[in-house]
A and B are shown apart, each in its own frame.
Chain A
Amino acid sequence: MRWKLEHRDRSLLARLVDEAGADQAVVVRRYDLRNPDRYVAVKTGDCYAGMSVPAPGALLSQDILDDDMQLSSVFVSA
């Protein structure tokens, strides 16, 4: 599972890509650059569809809710 960055209409779009197609349960959080200790939960469907990242940027963090609780995150500077 990885994040892909796309340019669309002069804005940045971050899209979560499930390359393995494992359909695992995922929790995604978005942290704004200006308030890096606060997050909002993001609907997983929105992440797969692609969501715009407002300037100056945001951290997108996903937790895969399996036995290993894999955590990974990407910081997108917009």
Chain B
Amino acid sequence: MTSLADLGARVDIEATRHTTDRTVAMLLVHYRRWHGARALGPLSSVHRSKVLSAFECSDARDLEHHFVDKAHAYRVSSDTVLSAMALALAFCPAEVRFDNWLRGQEMLRALIANPTLVVGAYLAKLAKDIGRSPGEERVARGRT
């Protein structure tokens, strides 16, 4: 580190701004490289956790539109903010922030009252994790 600014270095996953099947496959390859890396140097595990978290949250952003649509189509929830919150809690709970505490409590109550939505979000996370099996990297590599 050369300054305190490096401690809070912003991590930017560019690929999620124009996602295709190929970019998702490549994101998984990059994620696996970061995930399996040996960490060396000062604060290396802190920095690496931040990168892994950024990848995981990018998964949630990729899926949000589809998840909200499906929740609406299957009449699980028509509240887009609530559906997005369920997904965020499943993928990157550390990134969830409530600007308004009362509103946050209200949303959590709504989530507790809608276990189907919550289970759906965690199933989406599970499906994404299963997609990260070691074989996936070989498949993605073959496409490049």
Residues of A within 8 A of B (CB): 3, 5, 12, 29, 31, 33-39, 53, 55-57, 59, 61, 69, 71-78
Contact = CB atoms under 8 A, between A and B. Distances in A.
B33 A77 contact: no
Q: Nearest 5 A-B pairs (CB), nearest first?
A: A77-B44, A77-B41, A56-B6, A73-B37, A75-B37
Interface string B110-140: 0000000000000000000000000001100
A14 to B, nearest CB: 8
B9 A56 contact: yes
Given A36-B13, A36-B51, A37-B26, A57 B41 contact: yes
B62 to A, nearest CB: 12
B38 A37 contact: no
Given A12-B41, A37-B14, A73 B36 contact: yes
B21 interface: no
Contacts of A76: 40-41, 44
B55 to A, nearest CB: 7
Nearest to B7: A56
Interface of B: 1-3, 6-7, 9-15, 26-27, 30, 33-34, 36-44, 46-48, 51, 54-55, 137-138, 141
Q: Is the interface of B mostly helix, strand, loop or mixed?
A: helix
A48 B1 CA distance: 23
Contacts of B44: 57, 75-77
B34 A36 contact: yes
Given A55-B6, A61-B33, A77-B47, A37 B39 contact: no
Given A37-B13, A39-B30, A69-B141, 6 more contacts: A36-B11, A36-B54, A56-B47, A59-B37, A74-B37, A75-B48
B34 A31 contact: yes
B12 A35 contact: yes
11 contacts: A31-B30, A35-B12, A36-B34, A37-B55, A59-B51, A61-B37, A71-B137, A73-B34, A74-B40, A75-B41, A75-B48
Contacts of B2: 55
